[in-house]
Amino acid sequence: MKKVITGDHAVAIGAKLCRVEVVPAFPITPQTLIIEHIADFVSDGDLDAKFLTMESEHSVMSAAAGASAAGARVFTATSSQGLAFMHEMLYATAPLRLPVVMANASRTLGGPPGIWCEYNDSMGARDSGWLQLYVEDNQEALDMVIQSFRIAEDKRVLLPVMPCLDGFVLTHTVEPVDIPEQEEVDSFLLPYEPDIILDPKRPAMIGTFMPSEYIMELRRQTAGAFESAKEVIRQINSEFAQKFGRDYGGLIDTYMMEDAHTALITMGTVTSTSREVVDELRRKGEKVGLIKLRFFRPFPSNELKKAVSHISALGVFDRSISYHGGGPVYNEVRSALYGMTMPVINHLAGIGGRDVTKEQIMKMFELTQKAGKGEKVNDISWHNTRGETN
Amino acid sequence: MAAQTLAEAAVSEGNYAVAFPYFGAERRGAPVLAFTRIDSKKIFSKTQVYAPDCVVVLDDSLLDTIDVVAGLKPKGMAIINSREKPEDIDLGKIIDTATVNATSIALEILKAPITNTAILGAFAKATGIIKIESLEESIKRKFGEKLGAKVGERNALAAWTAYERTITGKSRGVKKLEARKQWLPTHQEIPVGGCLIEGKTDAGLIGPGSFIENKVSGWATYRPLRDKAKCTMCLLCWFYCPEGTIVRISDRGDLMTNYDYCKGCGVCANECPVDAIKMVRARI
């Protein structure tokens, strides 16, 4: 069934289709619509879940971890300052291997406060042990909530997953979304059946004090789960594609890369706009391609290496800054491509929610092409930034 | 505090010294480790000490469960808080050993079984690494700053008394001490997320209920004795016991203390409104 809905609504429907059992919630723009829709589902009797209104995001994630440890399928959503406030508890959820799914409506983490899309909120959580993915449209937002639960609850993974959708650009934008039937989702996502839960009849210790004799092995184990997650993500993507007819490519997606000379790596909604830019440049005969970085954690180093093995220059889009120069994606990409000799340059744009236009994306390709021809360009370009000349 | 005080005293003699603890989440009285390194030049090493020149044992009940001299250098020395003479102490090998009954000294002078300052006196006497006068100054400064000059002086007196009463000799080397077994799973073996259910390993129980094996009565200097005639069965002791060692025997309307798990903290005696509980020495 097709419906014209916001990204937030799509995420809420995704959670409902997953038959989530506990939803601790605290509102924050631009996530609010997600939990409002879920509250409606619960009060209307369309979703049999415990909806908990918490006093803060820190408590939201505490309740999420507790409910998950008790064996419930847990969903929540947050954004920006809310994500920052629950930061401590993110670190409690992941290493305890509690498969919570939490949507993050990407938003500038202030100060100064802003409400529009920037990735500095979720990038701050990149080493918390959560899987992170970024979607480009409302359909993918809905579909990835469903896939997130499959990935999170897979016994080879057992890690929390954070699907990120661009604040306002998706959260408050309506577009057609094909809503899967409940029966289809039920056959794709079976009930969550953990091995160990908090149950008075069978006592368990979850998250108790551990000295240095154990924590290092636990970290190593979690790192191993991140490695395993890569194959799980690919498998679940294929299975989803077969069942629902939508193939997202797995950890990355590529567009017009087969014969490309120059490529741009993007995330989120900028990918969507970039597809049209690639089409326009292709019509002019320019051999450009696009790589959509879908998962930032685990980071798809091997996929990227393979995707760019034949090109002569690579541009990397970043929607947040790491204050040693470029953005976090740029640094991960360069690290992944260590040993390859092509120029890799960074394009900072859309920070603070500034609109990323086709002209800016054109400029990203133009600068990357120049670098590929050996012309001198900046390693890091701030696009559409007053006072900067690229 | 003892390790730090020793380091301060060593520094006051013109040396370089570092001291640091290693402990878990246990409360006071639980076994802990502390390390002191002393050198004439700056010490860069920031790692624990595995092959000490001297090992100081503040509680001789540890000798039954831990090979305290496992890493000790061949010519190293053991200093032990014990009422025994060195030749009556079996460390599993014959080594230079000094003993002093620091617990009695502490109870006598400090009125509390806090033995860390007294044992430093034994260290000065037995090793000669540090002068007792330097320790005295260091103890007075360190304890005095925190707890007042009188406390500082009393602790210095405890060190001096131990210094005078320390006996040096050789330990016996008869018993075979096996390294304490510890559950050390690999990252493949450790349960996912460290979540544990009741389990049994070569090194004993793990998970919920595993502390049943962890009998802590050896830590206790005192243990509670309840006078049934005075007891009104108000149950405040039962309520306040941090370890749940006081058990209600419902059919007899009575209480029983499980001394295996009593650390001798004295909370029960302190809370008892009719003074029915007295703390008595668990061992000398």
Asked if residue A260 and residue A232 are part of one domain, the reply reads no
A389 in any annotated domain: no
**What is the pairing mode between strands A175-178 and A2-5?**
antiparallel
Is A338 near chain B, with CB under 8 Å?
no
State the pLDDT at residue A183.
98
Taking residues B151-176, report their average pLDDT.
95
- What pLDDT score does A60 carry? 98
Which three-class secondary structure string do you get for B23-64? Answer: CCCCCCCCCCEEEEEEECCCCCCCCCCCCCCEEEECCHHHHH
- 3-class state of residue B83 by DSSP: coil
Question: Are B8 and B86 found together in one domain?
Answer: yes
The answer on pLDDT for B28 being more than 70 is no
Q: Are residues B127 and B266 in the same domain?
A: no
Given a cut of 70, is residue B283 above it in pLDDT?
no
* Angle at CA of residue A79, ends A78 and A81, nearest 5°: 115
Q: Kindly state whether residues A192 and A297 are assigned to the same domain.
A: no
| Three-class DSSP category at B196 | strand
SS3 B234: coil
Last residue of a domain, one of A222, A244, A266: A244
Shared domain check, B229 and B144:
no
Judged by a CB distance cut-off of 8 A, whether residue B208 touches chain A is yes
Cβ A217–B25 below 8 Å, yes or no? no
Report the interhelical angle of B132-147 vs B2-12 (nearest 10°).
Answer: 120
> Which residues, 6+ apart, have CB-to-CB distance to B14 below 8 Å?
none
Find chain B residues with C-beta within 8 A of A224's C-beta.
Answer: 187
A224 in the same domain as A120: yes
- Is there a single domain that holds both residue A325 and residue A356? yes
| In contact, B15 and B38? CB cutoff 8 Å | yes
- The DSSP output letter for B179 is P
Burial of B3 (0-12, 13-18, 19+ CB in 10 A): buried
Residues in chain A: 390
- Write the residue in B190, B195, B209 that is nearest to A217 by C-beta: B190
Kind of pairing between the strands at B246-249 and B277-281:
unpaired
Q: Do residue B24 and residue A211 have CB atoms under 8 angstroms apart?
A: yes
Residue contact A203–B195, C-beta within 8 A = no
Alpha carbon of B21: minimum distance to chain A alpha carbons (Å): 14
* HEC letters along B124-138: HHHHCCCCHHHHHHH
Residue A196: count of CB within 10 angstroms of its CB: 19
What is the tens place of the pLDDT at every residue in A360-385? 999 999 999 999 999 999 999 999 99
Beta strands at A288-293 and A262-266: parallel, antiparallel or unpaired = parallel
pLDDT of residue B179: 72
Question: Residue type for A228, please?
Answer: S
Considering the domain architecture, whether residues B165 and B228 belong to the same structural domain is answered as no
Contacts of B203 in chain A (CB under 8 A): none
Determine whether the interchain pair A204/B25 forms a contact, defined as Cβ–Cβ distance below 8 Å: no
Same domain, B132 and B55: yes
Cα distance from B261 to chain A (closest Cα, Å)?
Answer: 20
Q: Is A1 on the interface with B (CB under 8 A)?
A: no
Which CATH number do you get for residue A102? 3.40.50.970
Query: Contact A220/B198, CB-based, under 8 Å?
Result: no
DSSP at B274: T
Q: Do A96 and B182 touch (CB under 8 A)?
A: no
> CB-CB: which of B188, B194, B209 is closest to A203?
B209
B19 assigned to some structural domain: yes
**Contact list, A97 vs chain B (CB under 8 Å):** 192-193, 195
pLDDT confidence of residue A325 = 82
B159 falls in which pLDDT band (50, 70, 90)? Answer: very high
Chain A residues with beta carbon closer than 8 angstroms to that of B190: 214, 217-218, 221
Using CA atoms, how far apart are residues A78 and A28, in angstroms rounded to an integer?
A: 7
Name the residue in chain B with its Cα closest to that of A223: B187
Query: How confident is the model at residue B220, as a pLDDT?
Result: 81
Q: Minimal Cα–Cα distance from A6 to chain B, Å?
A: 36
Residue with tokens 């029915």: B276
User: What's residue B27's pLDDT?
Assistant: 55
A92 touches chain B (CB under 8 A): no
Best mutation target, B26, B197, B201, to test chain A (most A CBs within 10 A): B197
Q: What is the DSSP code (8-state) at residue B212?
A: G
Contact call for residues A329 and A132 (beta carbons, < 8 A): no
A236 and A261 housed in the same domain: no
Q: Mean pLDDT across chain B, nearest whole number? A: 91
Which of A206, A224, A244 is where one domain is finished? A244
Question: What is the domain extent for residue A142?
Answer: 2-244
- Please, which residues bridge with residue A86 across strands? none
Determine, for residues B193 and A202 on separate chains, whether the beta-carbon distance falls below 8 Å: no
Indicate if A113 and A228 belong to the same structural domain: yes
Q: Name the token pair of B221.
A: 């200097």
Residue B86 contacts residue B171 (beta carbons within 8 Å): yes
| Contact between A214 and B190 using a beta-carbon 8 Å cutoff | yes
Entry field: residues in chain B: 284
- CATH number, domain with residue B110: 3.40.920.10
Is residue A8 within 8 Å of residue A166, measured between CB atoms?
no
Instruction: Answer whether A221 sits within 8 Å of B192, measured CB to CB.
Output: yes
Are residues A33 and A139 both part of a single domain? yes
Contact B89, B81 (CB under 8 A): no
- How many structural domains is chain B composed of? 2
Contacts of A96 in chain B (CB under 8 A): 193-195
Distance in Å from the first CA to the final CA of chain A = 46
Q: Where are the beta strands (DSSP E) in chain B?
A: 16-22, 33-39, 54-57, 77-81, 96-100, 167-170, 196-197, 199-201, 204-206, 222-226, 246-249, 254-257, 277-281
Measured at the alpha carbon of residue A73, what is the angle toward residues A67 and A75, in degrees to the nearest 5? 85
Give the model's pLDDT for residue B30. 66
* Res B182: pLDDT: 87
Give residue-wise pLDDT tens across range A309-337.
999 999 999 999 999 889 999 999 999 99
For residue B26, give the chain A residue with the closest CA: A209
Q: Of A314, A2, A297, give the one whose Cα is nearest residue A126.
A: A297
ipTM: 0.89
Structural Rg of chain A based on CA atoms: 21
User: How many whole angstroms separate alpha carbon A313 and alpha carbon A373?
Assistant: 8
Q: Are residues A123 and A44 in the same domain?
A: yes
**Residue B264: inside a domain:** yes
Sole residue written with tokens 């009393």: B154
- Picking from B192, B206, B214 by the largest number of A CB atoms within 10 A of its own CB, the best residue to mutate is B192
Residue of A196, A199, A212, A215 to mutate when probing chain B, most B C-beta within 10 A: A196
Q: B208–A205: do the CB atoms touch at under 8 Å?
A: yes
Looking at A182, A209, A244, which one is the last position of a domain? A244
Question: Which of B23, B48, B186, B195 to mutate to probe the A interface, most A CBs <10 Å?
Answer: B195
Residues 139-198 of chain B whose Cβ lies under 8 A from any Cβ of chain A: 182, 184-188, 190-198
**Angle at A20 (CA atoms; ends A16, A21), nearest 5 degrees:** 130
Closest chain A CA to residue B196: A205
Same domain for A345 and A229: no
Q: How far is B72 from chain A (nearest CA, A)?
A: 22
The residue of chain B with its CA nearest to that of A69 is B195
Nearest-Cα residue of chain B relative to residue A212 = B24
| 3-state per-residue secondary structure call for chain A | CEEEECHHHHHHHHHHHCCCCEEEECCCCCCHHHHHHHHHHHHCCCCCCEEEECCCHHHHHHHHHHHHHCCCCEEEEECHHHHHHCHHHHHHHCCCCCCCEEEEEECCCCCCCCCCCCCHHHHCCCCCCCEEEECCCHHHHHHHHHHHHHHHHCCCCCCCEEEEEECCCCCCCCEEEECCCHHHHHHHCCCCCCCCCCECCECEECCCCCCHHHHHHHHHHHHHHHHHHHHHHHHHHHHHHHHHCCCCCCCEEEECCCCCCEEEEECCHHHHHHHHHHHHHHHCCCCEEEEEECEEECCCHHHHHHHCCCCCEEEEEECCCCCCCCCHHHHHHHHHCCCCCCCEEEEECCHHHCCCCHHHHHHHHHHHHHHHCCCCCCCEEECCCCCCCC
- Whether B267 and B156 map to the same domain: the answer is no
Mutate to test the interface with A, among B20, B187, B201 (most CBs of A within 10 A): B187
Same domain, A166 and A90: yes
Cβ contacts of A175 within 8 Å, gap of 6 or more: A4, A5, A137, A138, A139
The answer to whether residue B19 scores a pLDDT higher than 80 is yes
Q: How far does A297 lie from chain B, in Å, by closest CA?
A: 18
Shortest CA gap B50–chain A (Å) = 16
| CA atoms lying within 13 Å on the CB side of residue A89 | 19
What percent of chain B is modeled with pLDDT above 90? 73
CA distance to partner chain A, nearest, from residue B55 (Å):
22
Q: Domain range for residue B6? A: 2-170
Angstrom distance (rounded) from CA A351 to CA A381: 13
Cα distance between residue A387 and residue A382, in whole Å = 10
How many domains does the structure of chain A reveal?
2
Q: Which of A202, A209, A217 sits opposite B186 (nearest CB)?
A: A217
A211 — contact with chain B (CB < 8 Å)? yes
Tens-place pLDDT, residues B174-219: 988 777 788 999 999 999 999 999 999 998 999 998 888 878 777 7
CA dist., res. B208 & res. B163, Å (int): 45
Helix, strand, or coil here: B235? Answer: coil
pLDDT digits 0-9 by tens, A94-142: 999 999 999 999 999 998 999 999 999 999 999 999 999 999 999 999 9
Instruction: With a cut of 80, say whether residue B25 has pLDDT above it.
Output: no
Give the whole-angstrom CA distance, residue A266 versus residue A369. Answer: 16
Is residue B238, in this structure, part of any structural domain at all? yes
B273 at the A interface (CB within 8 A)?
A: no
> Measured between CB atoms, does B47 come within 8 Å of chain A?
no
Q: By three-state DSSP, how is residue B248 classified? A: strand
- At residue A249, φ and ψ (nearest 5 deg) are 95, -15
Chain B residue nearest residue A159, CA to CA: B193
Q: Residue holding tokens 């191993």? A: A224
Tell me the three state secondary structure of residue B281.
strand
Q: Which of B217, B223, B281, B259 is nearest to B61 (CA)?
A: B217
What CATH number does residue A301 fall under?
Answer: 3.40.50.920
Report the distance separating Cα A150 and Cα A131, nearest Å. 12
